[in-house]
Amino acid sequence: MRTLGKLTVPPIGYGAMVLSPGIYGEIDDDWALAALRHALDEGGTHIDTSDAYGPDGHNERLVGRAIKGRRDEVVVATKFGLAVPEGVETRSIPVGYAFGELRGNADPALVRGYAERSLRNLGTDVIDLYYLHYPDPGVPVEDTMGAVADLVRAGLVRHAGLSNVTAEQLRSAHAVLPIAAVQVEWSMWRPIDPELLAATRELGVGVVAWSPLGSGFLTGSVSKLEEGDFRRHAPRFDAANLAVNNDRYAPIRRLATELGITPAQLALGWLLHQDEHVVPIPGSRTPSHITENLQTAGIALHPDTLRRLDEALSSFKVEGGTLL
Ligand SMILES: NC(=O)c1ccc[n+]([C@@H]2O[C@H](COP(=O)([O-])OP(=O)(O)OC[C@H]3O[C@@H](n4cnc5c(N)ncnc54)[C@H](OP(=O)(O)O)[C@@H]3O)[C@@H](O)[C@H]2O)c1
């Protein structure tokens, strides 16, 4: 097990975003629920969702159905700030993703309403880990997190998290209430900001790595993308760039083969070996992949292997940039 602040979780979590339609292409609820239940059965009991995945809390409602009757086995993590009620103003979040503009509102006055809606969707009376999904450029993070502190005092939330923040934002928020985890995109093809990593170490905050498989690329199995898959918008997944990136990634795939593990396990293992407080949350709709990913927790990588891997990564230039 690993710790995110004072919260104990398995080394590998499960990212549920892949289970809502319109993100990684189409999927139905039976398929999604079977994947979620498989994750829980195999020890993927830290489930990451958001009120913004799928329409009208679809992803949270799926998680609610899967954890019914087994709530005590599960660490439920969700996020707020992007799914803004109709009629409430939103502000543009300056991230520059190719798939489109993100808008949100993290006004402290809205936070209790967000949490109550998530609790209803999840069919639970407490959220184990509650993240601000993206900082709102119109509201200092410490103000938003002041409202999360109220939720902790009211017993609606157990631990607070921040997603997609800078080191400075983490420090400001941590002064208001203890932050258990920072969620950030981090994988072999998307480095973490060293200042943010240093701040998490110093403050005793966990790092939850989102898209730890590079949105599937690092598994070595993405060669073409279907209609309706959001990755089609990302320059690094553009057909020509993807072919180049797959060629450049070949030495790392070969290293996995040599070690007798899969490229997905090498990518997750590399993250687990960066530090004790790092927890990747891979997403998958495929039961065999879910099992393979969770099994990475038992794979030790030798320091020589990590050195070879870092050397290979230092000459792995990603065509199309590293933003989704
Ligand atoms: N905080 C944020 O802003 C933020 C943003 C994005 C994501 N997230 C969180 O991070 C989680 C993970 O991110 P993600 O799902 O976008 O990316 P990911 O975990 O890097 O990759 C998911 C993709 O990898 C494939 N895959 C997974 N395991 C595999 C394996 N062993 N072999 C081959 N293919 C495999 C999946 O396909 P199959 O379904 O076929 O296995 C899926 O297409 C999300 O679910 C979400 O909870 C957070």
**What pLDDT does 226 receive?**
87
Q: How confident is the model at residue 100 (pLDDT cuts 50, 70, 90)?
A: confident
266 CA from centroid of ligand 1 (Å): 15
Mean pLDDT of the region 224-247: 93
**What pLDDT does 263 receive?**
98
Cβ < 6 A, ligand 1 pocket: 15-18, 24, 48, 163-164, 183, 210-216, 219, 221, 264, 281-286, 289, 292-293
Average pLDDT of the chain, as a whole number: 97
**Each residue of 114-157: pLDDT tens digit?**
999 999 999 999 999 999 999 999 999 999 999 999 999 999 99
**In this model, does residue 270 exceed pLDDT 90?**
yes
24 CA from centroid of ligand 1 (Å): 9
Ligand 1: which of 4, 27, 213 to mutate, most ligand atoms within 8 Å of CB? 213
Closest protein CA for atom 5 of ligand 1 = 210
Q: Is the residue at 59 inside a domain?
A: yes
Q: How confident is the model at residue 254 (pLDDT cuts 50, 70, 90)?
A: very high
199 CA from centroid of ligand 1 (Å): 26
Closest protein CA for atom 11 of ligand 1 = 15
Mean pLDDT of the region 222-231: 90
Q: Among 215, 221, 289, which Cα is nearest to 249's?
A: 221
Mean pLDDT of the region 151-170: 98
283 CA from centroid of ligand 1 (Å): 3
Q: Is the residue at 127 inside a domain?
A: yes
Which residue range(s) make up the domain with 208? Answer: 2-219+263-300
Q: Among 107, 109, 114, 80, which Cα is nearest to 91's?
A: 107
Tokens of 254: 């070969």
**What pLDDT does 82 receive?**
98
Beta strands at 75-80 and 127-132: parallel, antiparallel or unpaired: parallel
Q: Is the residue at 152 inside a domain?
A: yes
Least confident of 24-33, 133-142, 224-233, 237-246: 224-233
Q: How confident is the model at residue 228 (pLDDT cuts 50, 70, 90)?
A: confident
Closest protein CA for atom 23 of ligand 1 = 216
Q: How confident is the model at residue 158 (pLDDT cuts 50, 70, 90)?
A: very high
Number of structural domains (the chain) is 1
Element (H, E) at 115: helix 108-122
Q: Is the residue at 170 inside a domain?
A: yes
The percent of residues in the chain predicted with pLDDT above 90, rounded, is 94
95 CA from centroid of ligand 1 (Å): 20
Closest ligand 1 atom to 183 CA: 1
**What pLDDT does 137 receive?**
97
Tokens of 76: 């439920």
Give one word for 92, left, alpha or beta, with left for phi > 0 and alpha for psi -120 to 50. beta
**What pLDDT does 321 receive?**
84
The model carries a pTM of 0.98
Domain of residue 51, CATH code: 3.20.20.100
53 classed as catalytic: yes
Q: Is the residue at 21 inside a domain?
A: yes
Q: Is the residue at 114 inside a domain?
A: yes
Tokens of 88: 């409430």
Mean pLDDT of the region 222-239: 91
Q: Is the residue at 80 inside a domain?
A: yes
Q: Is the residue at 289 inside a domain?
A: yes
**What pLDDT does 324 receive?**
76
Closest protein CA for atom 36 of ligand 1 = 284
**Each residue of 48-62: pLDDT tens digit?**
999 999 999 999 999
**What pLDDT does 236 receive?**
94
Per-residue burial over 13-33, b = 16 or more CB atoms within 10 Å of its CB, e = otherwise = bbbbbbbbeebbbebeeeebe
Element (H, E) at 302: none
